[in-house]
Amino acid sequence: MAEQLLTASGAPAVPVTYERLRAELEDSGRAYDLAMIDRAYALAEKAHDGQRRRSGEPYICHPLSVAMILVELGMDSESIAAALMHDVVEDTDVTLADIQTRFGAEVALLVDGVTKLTQIDFSNVEDRQAENLRKMLLAMSQDVRVMIIKLCDRLHNMRTGDAWPEQKRRDKAKETMEVYAPIAHRLGISSIKEELEDRSLRYLDPVGYQNISNLLQERSDDFLKDVCRTIDAHMAQNGITMATIRHRVKSVFGIYRKMYMQSKDFDEIYDIYAVRIILGSVAECYTALGLIHDMYHPLPNRFKDYISTPKPNGYQSLHTTVIGHEAIPFEVQIRTWDMDRMAEYGIAAHWKYKAGISGSDGKLEERLAWVRQLLESQRTSSDATDLLSDLKSDLLPEEVFAFTPRGEVINLPAGATVIDFAYAIHSAVGNRMVGAKVNGRIVPIDHPIVTGEIVEVLTGPENRGPSRDWLNIVKTSEARNKIRNWFKKERREENIAEGKAALERELRRNLMNIPADQYNAFMETLARRNRCNTVEEMYAAIGYGGLQMARLTPKLKEEYQKLTAAAPKPVTIDFKRTHTSDGVVVEGIDNCPIKFAKCCSPLPGDEIIGFITRGFGVSIHKKDCANVQSSLRQPENADRWVKAWWDDASKENYKATLELTCMDRVNLVSDIALALGDMRVPLYSLNARTTDQGRAAISITVGIINTDHLNNVVSRLKKVRDVVNVARS
């Protein structure tokens, strides 16, 4: 019955009515829930009342026809009810909630699934996206019945597609060819697959389609039935009584593919007509082959023994092509029942082989093979055990599919996050990611992708990198590797910066001042001496720790000596004010370590001068220090004196030691401490001892800010009772 209705020769002339559908249900011998189907029809008829299809028919004809195809496929009551109502949510006032209330969750789920698939328009997908789309649709139709209803919906639309304008016909045909026919093929509903292909071809290449149809019509395939009868009788005469013999005519599109894509002439296609003989044993297969070759003339080079030498995918059969009494060649396939099942439902690789599907979705194929078997048993079983309702298929539990805003499909493992999505687009997108929107709303960065979501990656500036935390969030190794690579590369840059800074610190520590015009050459020489190809490489090595400063410094000093020997003039000083961390500015030297000379202990406010020591930075003296005056007179030291100022902005403390001479008494020390406390002057050390004649000598070290401050402290201390004198030590 199914084959008769699903042939490509044209839509059934009689429009489907509910009476016809109901008769078909009753005749099927299965226990359908007719009451529910009646209610579904009543709802759909009322909802679509007044609506018409483009062809002018009442709209209800369409859901009725879809339901009819489902009955022919042997689908269950819920599928039939859902098919009758499949367009009401999309096109009428009826809501999904209404259907849920009146028909339950199962039917509602099916209607909802079909509605969702209908809302997606894939008419302009690129070829490379087609496989992902097919997989995504399968994943979206959580229940495989959703996809089957959708296929029947598409089939009926294609049957009545003549009512569409030219462009819509072509768009729908292309989409059908690229997305829906391959899905039908995978689900093993070959009758639907072939009709979808043939009807699509009719719109995509009307001339090619018509040519082949004409060629097929010129020759009736009636001879095939005679052939089957003749073979059956001949085999029975020769002791093979349990043969099952089937025949088929190749689809228009199947022939088209060979003629136009493999450039064959119609007469060169020998498997347009085929007879399949299924037998009980391998021995019978070879016997049957002999009988066939007795009866018909075999074409040379057309015999294939796939029983002794199976195809790589495990397919087994004997193939031969013979010429019958009408001089029309036909292919004969002979196999056992086991081989037939294997060929029909068996290994995933078989389908891949035939459909040219690449990729490693073996699991999907296995699961689809299982779906296919269930469909087949559903079609042939007479009881109404709801095999299909067990098919909460979840066909692709380990994969998810999401869209970019431009409609590209990104395929990811289940559990993958928006970060994985960003890196799947491009590493540059991932590295710049700052957040993501899913279906227009901002989501957390660890949001796991759900199939069908539209994900928009929000990006920041180019130099923005990933976060190390992401390594714990991402699910794909692709994203993980790209993040690691970024850090490796980025760490190199960090290393270079770090190494350069360390080398510059070392130069300052040694008070080496390399003239700007010789800097690059100096560094290049130094890099070569340290076996680095480039200066950057040397910096990176220092930053990384591969080149230790202790090993580098001797070479650095040697090179510096060569440099200064070549240019014997004293180190030139560039006259910019640079700051030290100790509140002193030393002319021409940036951030050098300084110390305050013990001979004169300069304090802020004092006039100062710096002396470049050998290896201990710059020592700061008071300008009127006696040592300074004598040193300046020595010629070998004169060049080493540099100008220095107090950094006015500094608020740091300086330590000053004061010697107090006092009359000793009880509480003297605590009175001094209180006086300092009142002035908020920090006291670092205090040393008191009695001297002769009832006197005490007290030495204190305090923190002061500058000379004025010190003078204030001194005069205040002098006011403490029994303090005789205060002097700077």
Q: Under the rule (CB under 5 A), what is the footprint of Mn ion?
A: 87, 153
Cβ contact 517:566 at 8 Å: no
Q: Measured at CB, which residue is nearest to Mn ion?
A: 153
Cα–Cα distance measured from residue 93 to residue 87, given in angstroms and rounded to the nearest whole number: 11
By beta-carbon proximity to Mn ion, the closer residue of 153 and 271 is: 153
Residue 62 beta carbon to Mn ion: minimum distance, rounded to whole angstroms: 6
Cβ contact 285:244 at 8 Å: no
Fill in the DSSP letter of residue 278: E
Cα torsion 353, 356, 357, 359: sign: positive
Cβ contact 100:108 at 8 Å: yes
By beta-carbon proximity to Mn ion, the closer residue of 153 and 175 is: 153
Residue 153 beta carbon to Mn ion: minimum distance, rounded to whole angstroms: 4
By beta-carbon proximity to Mn ion, the closer residue of 156 and 202 is: 156
Cα–Cα distance measured from residue 330 to residue 321, given in angstroms and rounded to the nearest whole number: 6
- Angle value at C-alpha 381, between 379 and 382, nearest 5 degrees: 115
Residue 156 beta carbon to Mn ion: minimum distance, rounded to whole angstroms: 7
Cα–Cα distance measured from residue 209 to residue 213, given in angstroms and rounded to the nearest whole number: 6
By beta-carbon proximity to Mn ion, the closer residue of 87 and 106 is: 87
Residue 246 beta carbon to Mn ion: minimum distance, rounded to whole angstroms: 33
By beta-carbon proximity to Mn ion, the closer residue of 48 and 475 is: 48
Residue 13 beta carbon to Mn ion: minimum distance, rounded to whole angstroms: 21
By beta-carbon proximity to Mn ion, the closer residue of 153 and 399 is: 153
Cα–Cα distance measured from residue 242 to residue 233, given in angstroms and rounded to the nearest whole number: 11
Tell me the helix, strand and coil percentages in the chain, rounded to 5: 50, 15, 35
Cα–Cα distance measured from residue 160 to residue 519, given in angstroms and rounded to the nearest whole number: 82
Cα–Cα distance measured from residue 587 to residue 618, given in angstroms and rounded to the nearest whole number: 11
Cβ contact 569:513 at 8 Å: no
Other beta carbons within 10 angstroms of residue 239's beta carbon come to: 8
- Residues with catalytic function: 90-91
For residue 346, give the nearest of 326, 368, 329 by alpha carbon. 368
4-40 per-residue burial string, b: 16 or more CB within 10 A, e: under 16: eebebeeeeeeebebeebbebbeeeebebbeebbebb
Residue 97 beta carbon to Mn ion: minimum distance, rounded to whole angstroms: 21
Cα–Cα distance measured from residue 499 to residue 725, given in angstroms and rounded to the nearest whole number: 55
By beta-carbon proximity to Mn ion, the closer residue of 78 and 153 is: 153
Backbone phi, psi, residue 128, to 5° = -65, -15
Residue 306 beta carbon to Mn ion: minimum distance, rounded to whole angstroms: 42
